[in-house]
Chain A
Amino acid sequence: MKSAEPLMSEQQASPHPRVSSVRLGRPDYVSVIVRLTSMELYKIRRRAMSKVLSLLGILATIGLFALFALIVLLMSRSGASADAINNFSEALRLPGSLTWTGQLLSTLGQVLIIILVSTIVGGEYTAGTVRLMLTRGPTRTQIFFSKVGVALVCIVLGVVGITLLGIISGFLFNLTTSITATFDFFSMAWLGHAVLYLLAIMLGLFVYAMMALCLSTLGRATAAGLAGVLTWSFLIEPLIETISYFGRGISGPVGSFFQSLPDYLIGTNIGVLVGNQEQYLISANAGLQAGGPSNLQALLVLVVYIVVFVGSAWWVTIRRDVTN
């Protein structure tokens, strides 16, 4: 092997001459991942599905606040009291518009991000383009982390974009109610909690996105990620919570086991993180803590989920044979 080393290093040290029109980018590890992530975003921008998903998100956000404005209008026409109208129309003004947008992101946003991630990961296997990517030079790990990266970028852009749209939509629809928006609640602490609130929503979406990435990778199909995560979040988690509810009637260690199950579900822990920040945003409830696990425990549980999903998908990605 010793005699081989100079040969091999010579080979690598002398890259073959290419035509001048081939302009190579930086070859270091991180630059390759950044370039691949950017390429993934380019693909997303060019596909109709992502445009449809974005449009759905935008329409749902505007639609939600339009609905609130309509109800407020109907309330005022039906002679409802000013207090009732004022209370209801709070959804159109900060901080109400922020928390309602957050709710929308945690439900519809979750479904949209699952569809997107399942498609960008599983679609490579379904269409067979995984072969195209794996024979170009980047390592499987770099390609894998570019997918994680693009999921993260989409979540951040989606959450920030929809939040701004929600706040602006609420503000504009609030003009129809003739109720003046006040900013009494605003302080730097409130702003900090608002940022943490959005980060908690992003983290929740990221956990489900990584679950979709994992299942799409394992199942080599878009449908695997999509069906798997939707089944988990809308069927299995509610089922476990139901079992836990009935577990309250059972005494002893078995009962305790059933009762503690929800503390380890993704939904519960995201709910804790989001809920705890929401308390600070709505001034009336400032300082109150939502029930259930602590923030630290919730964070730890979610981190474990992320490590399991990302780790298993990565392990399979680097080890599997890519055939048809």
Chain B
Amino acid sequence: MDELISHYDDNIVISTSRLTKAFGNLVAVNDLHLQVMRGDVFGFLGPNGSGKTTTIRMLLGLIRPTAGRAVIFGMDNADQLPAILQRVGAIVETPVFYPYLSGKDNLHVVAAASGMLQGKASNRRVEEVLDIVELRRHANLAFRKYSLGMKQRLGVGAALLADPELVLLDEPTNGLDPAGVFEIRQLIQRLATLGKTIFISSHILYEIQQVCNRVAILQKGNLIKQGAVSELLQQNEQIVIRLNTVEETHQALSILQHAREEGQHWISGAHVDTDKQNKPVIRVDASRTRSAELNALLAEHRLFAAEIRPQEGNLEEIFLELTAPVTPPGAERPGMAALARETTAIFDEQGIP
């Protein structure tokens, strides 16, 4: 802990060190090292049961870590939780409120619990928040009558009520319709422009890709990736080449493989795949800025691509790649079998090992 705090940088909002939580024999979070910087919109990803909510609960002091520490705003949350929580707004899992109170009354209760003055003194802020989450029309409706989307929006509103520096949102778009998801995305982007640090866990990877600048991916309690979204996507960039015939496709693949072996290391790999029209294409693992070089390389061998299209990396693919269960030797991943057979056949034909 001392090390974590003594190396504290004002720009680091959340820093965890060896954070671990075990429930009996089940290790829910294992040796987690996270770092969230001021102003980050930090995506926290992982399949169900990977330990995301457990981590958020540990950060908020709802559960105690079995080992390790979490330092937020330079303060250890084991010792200075109240001071930390005054600067944090959070939703943990499904937002829960008092079912017999209206949305507005619930916000008044949250305001009092957050240290705000009660009654009329907090009216203005409550009204502002109701406007932000667009619940003013339903402000006097009992919470138990709210739809799931309205509950989520009220949860976000409660998290924003005391104007916190750090907003922790656990699956904030759960149960929202596409319009609701879009609204929450806009809200998060707006909060980010106000300088808030946002820590968001979600299953909707497209949303994360749209709003987050940094992500961490968790699997079975272990951190398997952490970094800038742009860097992750860059690592996963491809150039898709479509040629006019199957023969040309095979030739092109062979040329690319040889080029790589002869020192063109910007080609990380190449394989045959099919596009949405089920036509064969070559996917080249290379930076999207290399399209022209790739085109020139094929042209040298008198191969002229019908289409060369740089393809942006996709967080969903990265996520699935990183969190996919290890396929035992000899077993084929469902859905990939046909593609694998097709590719092998092409490689065999070309004599590529």
Contact = CB atoms under 8 A, between A and B. Distances in A.
Interface in A81-121: none
Contacts of A79: none
B98 to A, nearest CB: 6
B215 interface: no
B147 to A, nearest CB: 18
B6 A132 contact: no
B113 A321 contact: no
B109 A43 contact: yes
A18 B196 CA distance: 11
A321 B88 CA distance: 20
A228 to B, nearest CB: 24
Interface in A1-24: 1, 3-4, 7-8, 11-12, 15-16, 18-19, 21-24
A287 interface: no
A132 B117 contact: no
A136 B108 contact: no
Contact of A131 (B8, B75, B80, B96): B96
B63 A23 contact: no
A77 interface: no
Contact of A39 (B97, B113, B124, B158): B113
A35 B96 contact: no
B40 to A, nearest CB: 16
Contact of A136 (B85, B122, B125): B85
B118 A25 contact: yes
Contacts of B115: 24-25, 27, 32, 35, 136-138
Nearest to B166: A16
A23 B116 contact: yes
Given A7-B8, A39-B109, A135-B85, A25 B63 contact: no
A323 interface: yes
Contacts of A12: 75, 80, 83
Given A7-B74, A134-B62, A42 B118 contact: yes
Interface of A: 1, 3-4, 7-8, 11-12, 15-16, 18-19, 21-25, 27, 32, 35-36, 38-39, 42-43, 46-49, 127-129, 131-139, 321-324
